[in-house]
Amino acid sequence: MPFDPLVTAVIETSLNTFVNDDPALVRRLSRLKGQIIQVNLKELNKTLTFVFSQQIDVLSEYEGQPDCYLSLNLSVLPELREQSNITKLIKQDKLILEGDIQLAQKFAQLMTDCKPDLEEWLSRVTGDVVAHTVVQGVKNVGGFVAKQATKHQNHVAQILTEEWKIAPAPLEVVHFCDQVDDVKSSVARLEAKLNALLEKI
């Protein structure tokens, strides 16, 4: 079942925007010029074809023979950057690769490096100072939320272990494990003594 044309158009536009914003990505794109890579996304059971020229064209249907065919979960794509991982992924049935391995690596590098620079995009609309302030504000809010979540998690853990005594405290767990080890050692010594006595009889 082909991808909806709107979805492929969004993917295509996003990728081309990311590439055009970064000179290093433009150079990587030029290394893929003239190549066709087909990717089957296992988690979606969808196939996309990437045609590389001066830009990236993303097609939901393609009749020809691609230069490289990949079938994988999207989460595996970053691992293709290293050639040593490719054989391992194939053996683990996480990857089906037909065609040029180096082409697959170049594709993985380009795709995983396509990350938006939100501050740059926002600065085009609002100016540098406002964009920087907004992005830093969002980062600060994100940090505050993460810190509060950790604080509340620690508070709940403290209530469960110290006030309500539902769960053991970390030190109690360590002490219990030490006691179990001591019992195991004692049992092993006792077993050795019993075996020695039985041999004498």
| Residue 173 neighbours by CB under 8 Å, 6+ apart | none
pLDDT at 2 over 60: no
In the chain, beta strands by DSSP E:
36-41, 46-52, 56-59, 68-72, 95-99
Domain range summary for the chain, segments of one domain joined by +? 5-116, 119-200
Q: How confident is the model at residue 94 (pLDDT cuts 50, 70, 90)?
A: confident
Residue positions counted in the chain:
201
The pLDDT of residue 121:
60
% of the chain at pLDDT higher than 90: 18
pLDDT in tens, 12-58: 888 888 888 888 888 889 999 999 999 998 888 889 999 999 999 99
**Order of strands across the sheet that contains 68-72:** 56-59, 46-52, 36-41, 68-72, 95-99
The pLDDT of residue 1:
44
Strands 68-72 and 36-41: parallel
The pLDDT of residue 119:
63
| Distance separating alpha carbons of residues 194 and 186, to the nearest angstrom | 12
Query: Worst-scoring range by mean pLDDT, 102-116, 134-148, 157-171, 177-191?
Result: 134-148
Query: In sequence order, what are the beta bridge partners of 58?
Result: 50
pLDDT at 200 over 50: yes
Identify the three-state secondary structure at position 73.
Answer: coil
- Domain range 5-116, CATH architecture: 2-Layer Sandwich (3.30)
End-to-end CA distance of the chain: 78
More confident residue, 78 or 121: 78
DSSP string, 16-33: HHHHHT-HHHHHHHHHTT
The pLDDT of residue 32:
92
The pLDDT of residue 58:
92
Residue 119, sorted as left (phi over 0), alpha (psi -120 to 50) or beta, turns out to be alpha
**Residue 32, CA distances (Å) to 67, 97, 104, 110, 179 in order:** 11, 17, 10, 9, 62
Query: Worst-scoring range by mean pLDDT, 56-60, 80-84, 89-93, 138-142?
Result: 138-142
Tokens of 34: 């003239």
The pLDDT of residue 67:
94
pLDDT in tens, 118-153: 666 666 667 777 766 776 777 777 677 778 878 878
pLDDT in tens, 188-198: 999 888 888 88
